[in-house]
Structure 1
Amino acid sequence: MEQERKLIGEERRNAILEWLKETDTPLTGSFLAKKAAVSRQVIVQDISLLKAKNEPIIATSQGYVYMAAQHAPEREIEQIIACKHDPARTEEELTLIVDFGVTVKDVIIEHPVYGELTASIRVSTRKQVADFVHHISNTGASYLSELTDGVHLHTLTSYSQKQLDQAIQALDDAGFLIKD
Structure 2
Amino acid sequence: MKKQQRQEDIVKTLRASREPVSGTALSEIFEVSRQSIVQDIALLKAAHYNIISTNKGYIIVDPPPREKIFKVYHSHEEIGDELYTIVDAGGFVKDVFIIHEIYGKIQVNLFLATRADVDAFVAGLEEKKTSPLMKLTDKFHYHTVEAVSDSILRGVEKSLQEKGYLITTG
TM-score by length of 2: 0.62
Aligned length: 110
Corresponding letter in the other structure for 2:130: A
Distance in 2 separating the partners of 1:150 and 1:105? 19
Q: Out of 69, 79, 89, which is 2:68 matched to?
A: 79
Counterpart residue number, 1:113: 102
Q: Out of 126, 129, 152, which is 1:163 matched to?
A: 152
Corresponding letter in the other structure for 2:114: T
Map 1:46-57 to 2 at 5 A: none
Contact 1:78 1:158 in 2 (8 A): yes
Are 2:115 and 1:140 aligned? Answer: no
TM-score by length of 1: 0.58
Cα distance, 1:105 vs. partner?
0.3
Corresponding letter in the other structure for 2:124: H
Distance in 1 separating the partners of 2:127 and 2:93? 21
SS at match of 2:124: helix
What is the Cα-based RMSD across aligned positions, in Å? 1.5
Structure 1: give runs of 5+ residues left out of the alignment: 1-22, 25-72
Distance in 2 separating the partners of 1:98 and 1:74? 18
Are 2:46 and 1:92 aligned? Answer: no
Cα distance, 1:179 vs. partner?
2.4
Contact 2:63 2:148 in 1 (8 A): no
- Cα offsets for 1:126-178 (capped at 9, x unmatched): 00000000011000111000111110010000112111111110100100011
Counterpart residue number, 2:91: 102
Corresponding letter in the other structure for 1:105: K
SS at match of 1:82: strand
Distance in 2 separating the partners of 1:109 and 1:74? 29
Where has structure 1 moved over 3 Å in runs of 4 or more? Answer: none
Structure 2: give runs of 5+ residues left out of the alignment: 1-14, 17-61
Cα distance, 1:74 vs. partner?
6.1
Corresponding letter in the other structure for 2:103: Y
Corresponding letter in the other structure for 1:81: F
